Amino acid sequence: MATLQVLVVDDEPGIRSGVVRILQNFTVGYPFMEEDFDFAVIEAGTGEEAIEVLNRRKVDVVLLDNKLPGMDGIEVLEYINKQQFDLAVMMITSYASLDLAIRATKNGAYNFMPKPFTPQELRATIENVAKHLFLKRMTRKMQVEGKQVRFQFLSVLSHELKSPLNAVEGYLKMMQEKQLGDNIDSYNTMIERSLARLKGMRNLIMDLLDLTRIESGKKERRLRETDLPAIARQAMDTMEPYAIQKNVRMTLSSKGNTTLLADADEMEIIFNNLVSNAVKYNKDNGTVTVHIEDAGKEIIIRVSDTGIGMSKEDIEKIFEDFVRIKNQKTKEITGSGLGLSILKRMVEQYNGTIAVESEPDKGSTFTVSIPRQ
């Protein structure tokens, strides 16, 4: 239960105590709100007193009489508007002229309530204000969070794209200036490095395309009975040249009915990411085992390696966009840091889960469970 602070500003003590009484034990709840609200009432007999309260403590709703002894209600409202307090104001007034209504609305008053009011009228009004305030705050929070996530994403992305560009540009300039002489063979290392950086960039762009397609929901899904071991085999074949270089042995096993109603391209993304990581982050002469198992209501995919492993703190981060664990062991390994975040989104589309067990220098096991539709 959250408590909204209601400031009632009225020079008539009877009205103030009436509000206290009516809002006692009153709660408001909506299905879209995580918790119900109740109300605590603070009293002010003048506009000056109200301003003093507003500057001292957090207030959520102001019930504001216009006719007050010193400064009047509309002046208090103008002050609230100028200070941009995060609250909702309800004017209470026995007569509302058009002029007052216009000035109040201009200064952001949520609504008017005629005086005298019945307990039901006050409760209905407060219920509306509470809902309005909740939605306003939620909208603002979501906008701020959305902007932050997008900003972070773009700044990391531009950095990731800029560094290979700078490298390739640097090598080209050195070649243009013929820094190593006229023999083209002298530039082989530079050319190889440039090509490797370009390949990294291409992979990053491909990953980004996957990601944006998943995010926008644009990727057309074709659900078919899909033979998962066949897809796993394809992913292993793709990694074969790299595995041979490191002398990593890959094996595949399956048990029971391992077909799943799924989009083959999406399953390919899952296997490609798991298998390529298991090879990439393996040690020379290591092994990768892929096991697919029918567990009745779900299918279990388990990819284990005997590689460099990860600490518990690392595991918590690896599913975030662009996160790569940077240490001596990963220094030479290239990647975008997007693979696992794509994988996670993909698995979630199937209402599945991913679990990771890992031990530094021993190896890692990624277990994906996907429920049958």
In the bound complex, which residue of the shown chain has the CB atom lying closest to ligand ADP? Answer: 335
CB of 278 to ligand ADP, least distance (A): 5
Q: Which is nearer to ligand ADP, 10 or 321 (CB)?
A: 321
Strands 37-44 and 2-9: parallel
CB of 344 to ligand ADP, least distance (A): 9
- Total residue length of the chain: 373
Q: Measured between alpha carbons, how far apart are the two ends of the chain, in Å? A: 38
Q: Which is nearer to ligand ADP, 109 or 204 (CB)?
A: 204
Q: Which is nearer to ligand ADP, 91 or 279 (CB)?
A: 279
| Distance of alpha carbon 234 from the chain centroid | 32
CB of 296 to ligand ADP, least distance (A): 28
DSSP states along 132-162: HHHHHHHHHHHHHHHHHHHHHHHHHHHHHHH
DSSP states along 99-142: HHHHHHHHTT--EEEESS--HHHHHHHHHHHHHHHHHHHHHHHH
Q: Which is nearer to ligand ADP, 47 or 337 (CB)?
A: 337
Q: Which is nearer to ligand ADP, 28 or 278 (CB)?
A: 278
φ, ψ of residue 156 in degrees (nearest 5)? -65, -45
- Block residue for tokens 């590689």: 307
CB of 339 to ligand ADP, least distance (A): 3
Interface residue list for ligand ADP (CB under 6 A): 273, 277-278, 281, 305, 307-310, 318, 323-325, 330, 335-341, 364
Q: Which is nearer to ligand ADP, 10 or 210 (CB)?
A: 210
CB of 231 to ligand ADP, least distance (A): 18
Which residue, 228, 355, 371, 352, is CA-closest to 299? Answer: 371
Q: Which is nearer to ligand ADP, 37 or 281 (CB)?
A: 281
Are 48 and 107 contacting, i.e. CB atoms less than 8 angstroms apart? no
Please classify residue 228 by burial: count the beta carbons closer than 10 Å to its beta carbon, then call 0-12 exposed, 13-18 middle and 19+ buried. buried
d(CA 296, CA 257): 9
CB of 337 to ligand ADP, least distance (A): 4
CB of 281 to ligand ADP, least distance (A): 3
- Rg over CA atoms, the chain: 32
Strands 363-371 and 61-65: unpaired
Q: Which is nearer to ligand ADP, 54 or 338 (CB)?
A: 338
> Quick one: angle between helices 13-23 and 119-176, nearest 10?
70
CB of 142 to ligand ADP, least distance (A): 26
